[in-house]
Amino acid sequence: MAYRYGDRYQTTMFPESIEDYVSAHDPVRAYDAFVEAIDLSSTGIPLDSNQVGNPEYDPKAMVKLLLYGYSYGIRSSRKLERAIHHNVSFIWLMGGLQPDHKTIALFRMNNKEALARILKECARLCIKLGLIEGNTLFVDGSKIRANASINNTWTAEKAARCLQKVDRRINEILNECAATDAQEQHADSLVKLKEELANKEALKSTIESIVKELKNEQKKSLNTVDPECVKVKGRQGTHAGYNGQVVVDKKHGLIVNTDVVNDSNDSRQFASQIEQANETIKAAGRHPGGCVAACGDAGYANTEQLKKIDDAGIAVIVPSQKQAAHDRKVSAFSKERFTYNAAKDCYLCPAGQEIERSHVSLVKRHILYRFKDAALCRNCRHYGVCTTSQRGRAIIRLIEEETKVKLERYYRTPEAQEVYALRKQKVELPFGHMKRNLGVTSFLLRGLRGVNAEMSLLGTCFNIARMITLLGVGPLSSGLCC
């Protein structure tokens, strides 16, 4: 059987213009049309073609390059530089422009705040095209590694241990230097000891500055490479990272808002994330009052946060930790077996004894109820099973307990269950796309401003990919150009 052989010296005719390099239905045209459709000046990127001095690369072209590159998992500035030399779709997108990797990295670095607003412009376009309704919103978070090692994270305890070791080594070096001076020998060794002494003193100074910063800013830990990241726990273990947040719309699962916070869990994020998404919806004129319902998993079950959204007239669909643990058994003496008497502000235990209010903790935001006479509890036949405390059984009631009970009751309704059943397929899909399809295992930029810019780009990439799936390249490009 014959073979086909290539010939690098065969004369070929390339298209006469770069425009002919890609077909009319190539996905790259959708990314081009999207950037042309948004108002870049509103994001904060200056657009002034009359500037004096050495000409800059077109900001629109640079944004197109970043968006298209991120959409195919190409985030490194060096890889983007190679792509605009060798990849036909990148060559078409840039119109033949070939910025080097330093220029690309500098543009991304200097426009962090502007890039963080790209998703808001994307969400407004989706609302304009009728792809986002803004009625029901889903929120979820995922841990993403920072561009820093966990080994660079310092705590007060770690710093104290290291200072102790450094001080001990400094004393040893000083003693060795004194002995060497006395013997007037091994001059080379003395030089090395003095160099090590200088290094140890510099290390001691660095650690002392870390301890001072931990104390001044009242932080539990500090990463010296990326000071704004925190310790986060994921499936791959504990590492330095951030907590990425997304809010998606029910209709097509398109992202309305992204955010990155340096909280290691989601318990304080529900209200702020829904409020940010509502601002985008209101600004687009879709719903003057914002969304109708907001849904999240049990990780957002913070009653104070949920109350803020509930007070705004938005239906909150978030299970409590108790409701999330379906297999949790209610024992004979669990809190549910104690009856609250609102008139007397006390609890009645299963034996019929009153447990009165003891004190209020404004820090923990709860009220503690305890027996005024602990002997009543100790003499009860259930003592030892209900409680073993010498002070008697105690009951904790949240200050916002009524709101908690109300939301738990609403979560059990059929309409709430119908919405919650959609949560996984709507809000967890974006993180799956980012981490699996785009290979985002960690952020490239450092600091909250940098990671928020990257999260905005990733969210926009997801939305554009979904829009292409829903409408097709041709209709989407036409719709964006209108």
Other Cβ atoms less than 10 A from the Cβ of 200: the count is: 18
The pTM score is 0.85
**Pairing state between β 315-317 and 136-145:** unpaired
| 3-class state of residue 249 by DSSP | strand
More confident residue, 152 or 101: 101
Residue ranges per structural domain of the chain: 18-46+55-112+471-481, 123-147+232-324+405-460, 151-223, 335-392
Q: What is the pLDDT of residues 391-448, one digit of tens each?
A: 889 988 888 888 999 999 999 999 999 999 999 999 999 999 999 999 999 999 999 9
Q: Tell me, what's the pLDDT at 286?
A: 67
Q: Contact at 8 Å (CB) between 29 and 464?
A: no
Q: Contact at 8 Å (CB) between 318 and 309?
A: no
Q: What is the pLDDT of residues 301-331, one digit of tens each?
A: 999 999 999 999 999 999 988 888 765 667 7
Q: Tell me, what's the pLDDT at 373?
A: 86
Taking residues 134-156, what's their average pLDDT?
A: 89
Q: Tell me, what's the pLDDT at 427?
A: 93
Q: Tell me, what's the pLDDT at 182?
A: 61
Cα atoms in the Cβ-side hemisphere of radius 13 Å centred on 11: 0
Where does 123-147+232-324+405-460 sit in CATH, by number? 3.30.420.10
What is the rounded distance in angstroms from the CA atom of residue 455 to the CA atom of residue 452?
Answer: 5
What angle separates helix 270-283 from helix 118-128, to the nearest 10 degrees?
Answer: 60
Where does 383-434 show beta strands of DSSP type E? 394-398
